[in-house]
Structure 1
C-alpha cells in the first residue's frame, strides 16, 4: 500500500471536507477515495474523519495529521525539484499570502510577472488581513507587516511602512489642524474594525510611547471604506502610508501629527526553512524582494 498516495487522498478529503470533492480534485472514483481513507485509518489504527450522511469532519487526530501530511508532501515535492537540478526552471504550484491591500498593490504585479516568466508555474494568491500559518495552511511564501514572533519560518526584511494620521484639506480647514495627539479628542475620528465604543492609538517611538483612547464617530470593517470617508471630509483616519499614498500625492489628504508617529513597521518576506531549495520559491522570493525594496513608498521618512 503506497502511503504517500494515501496521504495525498487524505489531504484532498481533509481540505475539501468531502469525498466527492476529493475524487473530482484527484480524478479518482469516489469508491477509490473511500478505500484509500479506510486503508490509511487501518494502517494508522486511528479515526481521522467523522462521516455523516451530510458532511465529513476531521477528528482532532485528523487535524494534526492533515498538517503533518501537508508538510511531508510539500517536502517530497521540494526534494524532487532540488534533485532535478538547482538551475532547473521553476514549475509546479506556488502559494503566496499577504495583507489584502498590500497584496493587491505590490504583490499581484510580481505574481503576474513571475507567471509570465515561468509558464510551468501555477500560483494561488491569498490576500487576507489575518495571520496565516505557513505550515498549517500549506503556504510557500508570506509577506508580513510588523515585528516577527519567534517562528520556524525564515524572514527576509525588504522595507518598512508607516502608520499615518490624515484628513482632507477641507476637514482641516473647517476644524483646525491637531498639534498634539490629545487634540484628537475634539475631532471626528474614523476607525477600522475593533470595538465601536473606543479605540486605542499609540504614538511615539520606543521609550517615549503614549496611548490615547478615542471614541470614533465612524467605525468600518475595511480600510477602503475608512479612506473614502476621510476623502469625503468626514474626519481623521489612521492608515498605512501605502494605502493613502495616491491621495496624498493628489493633494486630497494631508498627514497630521507626523512628529508623533510610531516607529515604522518592518516588512518581511517569509518562507518555510525547508522549502527555500525549491526553484519556484527561490526565484519568486528573488523577484519579490527586488521589487519591494525599490518601491519608494516603503522608505519615505
Structure 2
C-alpha cells in the first residue's frame, strides 16, 4: 500500500480513537482501515496500537510514529499549497489561541478582519487562561505573553507588557499609597490566579529582585474579576498593563510601585516549525502581527 495512505489512516485512527470512527472520517470500510493498520505494523515490524473491545491506545512506538507521521503529512500539505502558486486563496481550517481577555480585546478583531478578507477559511478560536500546547492540541497560531521555553516554536515579537499593581483612587485615599513592596503587607490584596497562582509577588530584576509573600483577602480565578474588585475600591491587585490601560487612562485605577516592577514580558505570535509555509497560516500571521504591533498598549 501507499506509504502516505497508511500514515493517513494511522493518524486518523489515533486522532479519532477507534477504527470505526476513522472509517467514517475517511469514508472507507472498517475492513480497509484494519488492513491498512496491519500492513503498516507488519512493514515496521512493531505494534503501533493496542486494541481493546472499546478503543485503541498508542504504544510507545506508536506515539512517536504518530508525532512523526502527523508532521510529515503536514509538510506534504504545505508543499502542495506552496506548489499551487503565490496567488492561491487561503482556505481550510485554522486554529488559534490566546488568553481570554487578550483574545477578546486584540485577537478577535484580527480574526474578524482575516475572515472577511478570506471567506474560504474557517477559524476555531481557543480563548483560555492557560498555556495551550499548540503541538499536542493541533493549534496553528498562538499569542503568548512571556518568554518561550519551547525552542521548537517559531515566534514573531509584536510588543511587550508589564505586570503592574493598581488600585482605585478612593482606596488609596483611604489607606495610603505604598512606597515599597513591603508596605503591601499592610494593605488589602486582591489576587488573580490567572496572572499568578502563587502568593509570592516578585519585584525588580537581577541582583535587586525581591519577593514579598502575600496573604490576599480575595482570590479570584479571572483577571476581569480582580479588576472589578479593584475598581470597587476593595484593595490593590496585580494585572497586566494592557488589561488596565483604559481604566488607568480614565483615572478609575492608579498604578503604584512602578519603580519596583519586574522587567517587561514579550508578547509574541508563535507557530509550529514549518507551519508558516501554509497560505492560511502565513496570511493570518501577517494580519495579526501588523495589527498587534500597531497597538500602543502593547509597546510599553
Superposition TM-score, scaled by structure 1 size: 0.89
SS in 1 for 2:277: coil
Give 1:116 shift.
1.2
**Residues matched between the structures, number:** 299
SS in 1 for 2:177: coil
SS in 2 for 1:276: helix
Distance 1:33 1:104 in 2: 42
Give 1:71 shift.
0.8
Distance 1:241 1:133 in 2: 25
1:125-136 matched pairs, under 5 angstroms: 125-136=125-136
Give 1:250 shift.
4.1
1:179-194 matched pairs, under 5 angstroms: 179-193=179-193
Q: Unpaired runs of 5+ in structure 1?
A: none
Give 1:17 shift.
2.1
Give 1:272 shift.
3.0
> Cα distance 1:4–1:241, how it changes in 2: closer, same or farther (>3 A)?
same
- 8 Å CA contact 1:229, 1:235 repeated in 2: yes
SS in 2 for 1:64: helix
1:12-91 matched pairs, under 5 angstroms: 12-91=12-91
Q: Which residue of 2 aligns with 1:117?
A: 117
> Cα distance 1:174–1:296, how it changes in 2: closer, same or farther (>3 A)?
same
> Cα distance 1:116–1:197, how it changes in 2: closer, same or farther (>3 A)?
closer
1:42-62 Cα deviation digits (max 9, x unpaired): 332322223323333222222
1:11-55 Cα deviation digits (max 9, x unpaired): 223223233433343334444433333333333232222332333
> Cα distance 1:89–1:184, how it changes in 2: closer, same or farther (>3 A)?
same
Are residue 222 (structure 1) and residue 222 (structure 2) matched? yes
Are residue 176 (structure 1) and residue 166 (structure 2) matched? no
Give 1:289 shift.
0.8
Superposition TM-score, scaled by structure 2 size: 0.89
Compute the RMSD of aligned alpha carbons: 2.4
Distance 2:28 2:234 in 1: 57
Q: Which residue of 2 aligns with 1:3?
A: 3
After TM superposition, the structure 1 stretch with the greater mean CA deviation from structure 2, 200-209 or 20-29, is 20-29
Q: Unpaired runs of 5+ in structure 2?
A: none
Q: Which residue of 1 aligns with 2:95?
A: 95
1:55-102 Cα deviation digits (max 9, x unpaired): 332222222222112211110000001111133222233222223322
Distance 2:245 2:28 in 1: 50
Q: Which residue of 2 aligns with 1:211?
A: 211
Distance 2:276 2:171 in 1: 49
After TM superposition, the structure 1 stretch with the greater mean CA deviation from structure 2, 23-32 or 2-11, is 23-32
Give 1:198 shift.
6.0
> Cα distance 1:262–1:54, how it changes in 2: closer, same or farther (>3 A)?
same
Q: Which residue of 2 aligns with 1:145?
A: 145
1:145-294 matched pairs, under 5 angstroms: 145-149=145-149, 151-193=151-193, 199-294=199-294
> Cα distance 1:43–1:216, how it changes in 2: closer, same or farther (>3 A)?
same
